[in-house]
Structure 1
Amino acid sequence: MDFTEIFKQTSGIVAFSPGTRFILTAIHDRLVIRQADTLQITRSWQIPTEAAPLQSSSKGSNVVKSTNQSNQSEMVISHASWSCDSEYILAACAKRGTIDVFKLRDESWNSRITVGAEGLTKAEWAPDGRTIVCFSAWALRVTIWSLITGTSTYIQYPLHPDRGCAFRADGRYFVLAERHKSKDTLGVYDASESYRLVRHFPLPTSTLSSFSLSPNGDYLAAWESPMEYKIYILSLSGLVAGSFTPDPDPGYGIRCVSWHPTGFFLAVGGYDDKIYLLERLTWEPIAILDLQTRIGNSINIWREPPEWMEKTQGRGFLSYEKLRPPYSIGINRPDFSKSHPKSGVVQLSFNISGTLLLARFESAPTAVFLYSLPSASERIFRRDRRCRLQQRLS
């Protein structure tokens, strides 16, 4: 999404509502809601300078702590997002340690959550749209606030203050990476029962970087720190279903992981500019995709038109130009003698149908790569064809 100078925004906070009817933007200490089709302003709120009691619906009220007035730099909104039903919007000021909640249908309604001395790193909505998950600084704890009851639940010692957590697709379970007695562990909490601990088990990792839940929630992919290229596949009961390490070991670890929408494939990208597509039966690669500097004749190439900002005066868009292959892409050579070299896969994402995989490489910052995958019907047809061929040969 690209905004012109007429429609300002800060920190890249721009988000469509779940129904795509509205657009949320943050400008310093102000939230602005616009109509998605006309960009007309519908609602606007400014973060209050003083903490007020947290006001809920007419059926009840909640009270939170108050803080002293903060300076202007602390009032800048660091996180803003919609609830799942587009009814509420949260705006977090991490430096100030406050989360303000606003209601789309009632411009005068607002609530505030103020954290304590543990600080605030990130705030996000839970899948139910009435619970806010707050991550403290220094990985001290995760606080889960309910807008309905006004109560909070604390989970101690998260492994990372800004990642290493996920909700299952149906929103029933909250999975959190934790650190207990100098060992990586995983906690599974029941969101429908006030985040009651359901299961707690150790992880096979030595230093967990992060993890990713499969779309159907039956598997979890956990990978090591950037110094080791190894990924484990586990069930939510703690059983290790498989692991993968390239041969030979590239020396640096994993940067991106993305599940196929069906959960049958797992795309893994590291610092070696390679994408390994793992399949669910053996958790071994069925395809290895490399960063290609020279594009062949069988590949479609589109390029952003040069000087399009000057041609449109920053207020429009031009169609991409289709180039004739072969074509060479400029590559930045990384320095592997330094920590965190500027190389590898920085983004992996499947489309909804799972027929396309989008990839971005840090070595090629001006290019986006799209890889086509066979659809489910094509995979079934190929599998049946192989089975018939094997039966015929036998």
Structure 2
Amino acid sequence: MTSWELSPLYRHSHTLVLAHSPHLVSLHRDRLVLRSLSTLSPIRSWTLPSLPHPLTSFAASPNEPEYILVYSAKQRTAWVVDPAKDGEVARIEVGNEGCVAMAWAQTGEGANPTAMAWAAHHLHLSLFPLPSSSRTPSPTLQPFRILSPKHSPSPSSSSSGYSFRPDGRFLAVLERHQARDVIGVYSTGSSSGGGGGEWALVKSITLPDPTSDLADLSWSPCGRYIAAWSSITDYTVHVFTPTGTLLATYTPYSSLSPPPASSTSTSSSRPSARSKPPPPPQPSTTPTTSAKPRTRLDRSTNPYVGLGIRSVSWGRDGEWLAVGGWDGNVRVLSRHGWEAVAEVAVPVRLSGGVNVWREPPNWVSNTRGHGILSYDPVPLPHSLTPLPLDLSRPNPRMGVERIVWSESGRWAAILNAAFPNTIAVFDFSSLLALASSSSSSSAADEEETPRRPSLHTILLLSPSTTTTSSPSSPSLAWQPSRAFSDGESEVLCWVSGEKGFGMWRAPGGKGGKGEKGVAECVGIPARGDFSAHSLAFSADGEALLLSSSLSGASSSTGSNGASGAEGIFCVAYPVYEGDEVHVPGGGGTADDSLGAGGRTWTEDEQEEGETYL
């Protein structure tokens, strides 16, 4: 990859990239616009019927046929629209109990598209299978209900409480029945083929500890394991098979927990008539504290502050399970025994062997968003300053926020909330080599192989000039790359509220230089105000959707009844060496690309559709 081409800017209320087609659907007020993802030229647009309230959910189905789900919580109605037709496929009335969130089920091949609706107060999760082909709206859809889901998707929380197996044939839901957490495994009916079979409960998994308070669960990429982890007040990870067999329970701080209750203790506090009175306490020969204060002291050690797991992410093929805690450490569990084979963290002191890059200060205003600039290398040693820790807050700025694995499984990008403008990239090649040779190598060879992942790169970002509130961590994603076929390097992209985005090309391919890789920032030459806060790659990795946060969300609705909240988005296209450049609204070669020298859009191109000036 040598450069990037950028599209003009467009207004939107919500944006998304359809997963299985080269289309982009944007919502602007009460109008849906279907565009070609490669050219962004409008293909079709239509107005949603009766939309007097702001929208709550806007999503595209992950499988064929590709439907669009539009939901308004205040109106308690969801519309399902087919982009290939001019009209709605179905309309879902959620009922008087209300609905806090809606999403598409990730069902596999052969199953009908299914809409998921979470009722208020954790009453039930409704699954609405939609007909695969329908020309008229279906006002009455018979849902399959899952009672008492523990969590529901929320923008303010990363926990969703459900997970689909990668092939879409089974769904695992975290439920709460009789004051006890239960994992329900449901069949999506994908295996019946063609007809889209019925949903059914196939297994109910009980936890080993009846007092467990689980926060979320996740199916492994290989589909053989289900990981479920505890809430913020505990550090426990359970690994199950889909049949309910408990493979392991990982608790790194189990030695600091209070001892369990004695088996001889009874539920009643009244002493037995035949029991002897307890002996008087014996005087101690050494001046020590009592057992109770000593236990409190043990639980207040520096590495452990009473908080548990913050983020969990599966590695490639389910070989690794990375667990990020509120203590700032990432523990990597291996599927061979489910023990921690490595523990990494963002260090405060950086010494030799680490590549440190710093974003050029004020590069957007100095270049006016034109061109690609390299990050500045930082000499070593170098120190990082974490944010001051305020434990009086309900969610202090500490702990591992995100763990993002690359497609090959070699690289993992880690975000620590204590370092909001820092991205740490770890190299897991030693563990990959160890896993691939574990079956054939001898014990002596395994001892010689380094087991610990190495910190490869630290990316220091400049604080966003457009953010006046508390600092927020950047949004990042790995490009679904064609590196395995064309020898290109794996690419990590991120946005942090600036008028552009950053990228890091890993070493080892044609794009990465030497063993350090390449860190660059790409500007967006737009005349209007634009600050990218979120990003998402298309399924093939040939388009990067950059979007700003919605502004005016609290404003009153306009005359058309739509929400006054608006955002801006654009699309970036990677340009590889030797490829022709196909830019929305124009063409050219790699030499006229935005990344090489910049390009000025014509007035017709900027005014097309909902272009923002």
Q: What are the within-5 Å matches in structure 2 for residues 243-282 of structure 1?
A: 243-247=249-253, 250=304, 251-282=306-337
After superposition, the Cα gap between the structure-2 partners of 1:190 and 1:390, relative to the gap in structure 1 and judged at 3 Å, is closer
Equivalent residue for 1:153, pick from 137, 144, 156: 144
Q: CA deviation at 1:330?
A: 3.8
Q: CA deviation at 1:95?
A: 3.2
Query: Distance between the aligned counterparts of 1:191 and 1:100, measured in 2?
Result: 22
Q: CA deviation at 1:198?
A: 0.9
Q: CA deviation at 1:24?
A: 3.1
Q: CA deviation at 1:232?
A: 1.1
Aligned to 1:220: 226
CA contact (8 A) 2:20 2:63 kept: no
After superposition, the Cα gap between the structure-2 partners of 1:252 and 1:45, relative to the gap in structure 1 and judged at 3 Å, is farther
Q: CA deviation at 1:107?
A: 2.6
Q: What are the within-5 Å matches in structure 2 for residues 7-22 of structure 1?
A: 7-10=10-13, 13-19=14-20, 21-22=22-23
Instruction: Report Cα offsets for 1:29-62 as digits up to 9, x if no partner.
Output: 4433333233333333433216xxxxxxxxxxxx
Query: Distance between the aligned counterparts of 2:217 and 2:446, measured in 1?
Result: 38
Q: CA deviation at 1:279?
A: 0.8
Higher mean C-alpha displacement, 376-385 vs 334-343: 376-385
Aligned to 2:105: 126
After superposition, the Cα gap between the structure-2 partners of 1:24 and 1:237, relative to the gap in structure 1 and judged at 3 Å, is same
CA contact (8 A) 2:360 2:376 kept: no
Query: Distance between the aligned counterparts of 1:382 and 1:235, measured in 2?
Result: 23
CA contact (8 A) 2:76 2:94 kept: yes
Aligned to 1:40: 41
Query: Distance between the aligned counterparts of 1:32 and 1:267, measured in 2?
Result: 39
Query: Distance between the aligned counterparts of 1:359 and 1:177, measured in 2?
Result: 26
Matched, 1:117 2:96: yes
Query: Distance between the aligned counterparts of 1:302 and 1:320, measured in 2?
Result: 9
Query: Distance between the aligned counterparts of 1:101 and 1:174, measured in 2?
Result: 22
Query: Distance between the aligned counterparts of 1:28 and 1:294, measured in 2?
Result: 49
Q: What are the within-5 Å matches in structure 2 for residues 316-331 of structure 1?
A: 318-326=372-380, 327-331=382-386
CA contact (8 A) 1:349 1:358 kept: yes
Aligned residues: 364
Aligned to 1:187: 184
Looking at CA atoms only, which structure, 1 or 2, has the larger radius of gyration? 2
Aligned to 1:56: none
Query: Distance between the aligned counterparts of 2:50 and 2:28, measured in 1?
Result: 16
One-letter amino acid of the structure 1 residue matched with residue 181 of structure 2: D
CA contact (8 A) 1:219 1:234 kept: yes
Instruction: Report Cα offsets for 1:331-356 as digits up to 9, x if no partner.
Output: 21221233221111111121121111
Query: Distance between the aligned counterparts of 2:43 and 2:362, measured in 1?
Result: 34
Report the 3-state secondary structure (helix = DSSP H, G, I; strand = E; otherwise coil) of the residue aligned with 1:365: coil
Give the root-mean-square deviation of aligned CA atoms. Answer: 2.7
Q: CA deviation at 1:311?
A: 4.1
Matched, 1:380 2:383: no
Higher strand fraction (1 or 2) = 1
Query: Distance between the aligned counterparts of 1:15 and 1:304, measured in 2?
Result: 29
One-letter amino acid of the structure 1 residue matched with residue 379 of structure 2: P
CA contact (8 A) 1:174 1:191 kept: yes
Q: CA deviation at 1:211?
A: 0.9
Aligned to 1:137: 120
Matched, 1:80 2:83: no
Report the 3-state secondary structure (helix = DSSP H, G, I; strand = E; otherwise coil) of the residue aligned with 2:12: coil
CA contact (8 A) 1:28 1:76 kept: no
Query: Distance between the aligned counterparts of 1:139 and 1:171, measured in 2?
Result: 24
Q: CA deviation at 1:127?
A: 2.5
Normalising by structure 1, what TM-score? 0.83
CA contact (8 A) 1:303 1:323 kept: yes
Query: Distance between the aligned counterparts of 2:371 and 2:87, measured in 1?
Result: 38
Instruction: Report Cα offsets for 1:263-301 as digits up to 9, x if no partner.
Output: 121000011111000111221111111122333332223
Matched, 1:291 2:294: no
After superposition, the Cα gap between the structure-2 partners of 1:82 and 1:189, relative to the gap in structure 1 and judged at 3 Å, is closer
Report the 3-state secondary structure (helix = DSSP H, G, I; strand = E; otherwise coil) of the residue aligned with 1:198: strand
Query: Distance between the aligned counterparts of 1:124 and 1:282, measured in 2?
Result: 35
Q: CA deviation at 1:110?
A: 4.1
Q: CA deviation at 1:317?
A: 5.9
Higher mean C-alpha displacement, 217-226 vs 369-378: 369-378
Tell me, which stretches of 5 or more residues in structure 2 are unaligned? 1-5, 133-140, 154-159, 190-196, 257-303, 448-613
CA contact (8 A) 1:83 1:89 kept: no
Tell me, which stretches of 5 or more residues in structure 1 are unaligned? 51-70
CA contact (8 A) 1:308 1:318 kept: no
Query: Distance between the aligned counterparts of 1:294 and 1:45, measured in 2?
Result: 56
Query: Distance between the aligned counterparts of 1:319 and 1:82, measured in 2?
Result: 38
Equivalent residue for 1:349, pick from 404, 410, 429: 404
Query: Distance between the aligned counterparts of 2:427 and 2:71, measured in 1?
Result: 39
CA contact (8 A) 2:218 2:226 kept: yes
CA contact (8 A) 1:81 1:90 kept: yes
Instruction: Report Cα offsets for 1:187-226 as digits up to 9, x if no partner.
Output: 1111114211111132235211111111122211111110
Query: Distance between the aligned counterparts of 2:75 and 2:363, measured in 1?
Result: 40
Matched, 1:204 2:258: no
Query: Distance between the aligned counterparts of 1:178 and 1:352, measured in 2?
Result: 32
Q: CA deviation at 1:144?
A: 0.7
CA contact (8 A) 2:77 2:94 kept: yes
After superposition, the Cα gap between the structure-2 partners of 1:122 and 1:252, relative to the gap in structure 1 and judged at 3 Å, is same
Query: Distance between the aligned counterparts of 2:91 and 2:446, measured in 1?
Result: 66
After superposition, the Cα gap between the structure-2 partners of 1:32 and 1:358, relative to the gap in structure 1 and judged at 3 Å, is farther
Normalising by structure 2, what TM-score? 0.55
Query: Distance between the aligned counterparts of 2:65 and 2:383, measured in 1?
Result: 45
One-letter amino acid of the structure 2 residue matched with residue 127 of structure 1: Q
Matched, 1:234 2:235: no
Aligned to 2:299: none
Equivalent residue for 1:333, pick from 388, 394, 398: 388
One-letter amino acid of the structure 2 residue matched with residue 236 of structure 1: P
Q: CA deviation at 1:173?
A: 1.0
Q: CA deviation at 1:310?
A: 2.5
After superposition, the Cα gap between the structure-2 partners of 1:245 and 1:108, relative to the gap in structure 1 and judged at 3 Å, is same
Higher mean C-alpha displacement, 317-326 vs 127-136: 317-326
Aligned to 1:362: 417
CA contact (8 A) 2:66 2:83 kept: yes
